[in-house]
Structures are given as structure tokens and as C-alpha cells.
Amino acid sequence: MGKTGNFYEFKESYFANFLKQIFLFLPGALFLYFISFLTTITFWDIFSRQRSLFSVLSSEPFSFLLLLIFFSIGILMTWLGLGKLKNVNHLIIPTLIIISGAIAGIIFGNPKNSPNLIAGILFTFRKAILLFPLVLIIPILVKKWIDKKAE
């Protein structure tokens, strides 16, 4: 119930947990999933067309910095929404979301099937959204497993 066993403290903590998951974890997971999905498709497009990564970064110098900022925002949102900042083991939550987005990008995002990158992203978006419920379930189960292991 709580430290004192009060029912109102239990309801308050449950409600706060629910709000954290709805307003931080869900948008953060969606954001991280699709940022990693799009990053994988973009890198696959760069390497399949045999362009140098350094030439892409030199032509767009702030795109890599912007990508790092987006990833850090998404990581903080999911870490705060489902885990605790003091527990470093909860960093596995955003890591799993990034890995699943990259795997979905590898499976669905073959840029050779589409004439340009934007058409390929729009075509594969419909397939990638089908895996998103799985992306939400896996970090929750792993967090419970980590918390149970820590006890």
C-alpha cells in the first residue's frame, strides 16, 4: 500500500505512476522507436547507395547533433516514464526500444525497393506501426524482471 499502509497513498502513487506512463513513457517510446527506425533506414540508404558517411555528415553537419539531441530526449522520457533515474539498470528500457526500432528498420526498410528514401519511409511506416504494441510490452516486462531480480 505505501510506507504507512494508507489507502490514499496507494491510490496517489498508482495514479502518479499511471500518469508517468501515459505522458512520458508512451510518447517517449513512440518517439524513440520511430527515430531509431528512421535512422536505420537512412543509414541503410546511405550505405546501399555507397555514399560516404563523412560526406553526408560534412554536407549536413548539424543533422548528427540534432539526432543525438532527439535520442537523448527520447531516452530521458522513457527512463523517467517507466524507470527510476537512480537505478542505472533501468537504462535497458530505452535501449530495448532503440534496438527494436533498428530491427524493424532492417526488416521492413529496404531502400532498394523504392525509388527514393521518402517513398520508402512512407511505404514501410504502415508495417512498422504494427510492431509498436510489442515495443511497448517488452520494456515493461523487462523492467519487472529487473526489479524482481534486484529484490
Q: What is the pLDDT of residue 69?
A: 92
Taking the CA of residue 22 as centre, how many other CA atoms within 13 Å lie in the half-sphere pointing to its CB? 6
18 found inside a domain: no
123 found inside a domain: yes
Low pLDDT (below 50) residues in the chain? 1-2
37 found inside a domain: yes
pTM: 0.77
Q: How many domains does the chain have?
A: 1
| Exposed/middle/buried for residue 141 (C-beta within 10 Å: 0-12, 13-18, 19+) | exposed
pLDDT tens per residue, range 88-116: 888 888 999 999 999 888 887 765 655 66
Range of the domain at 74: 24-150
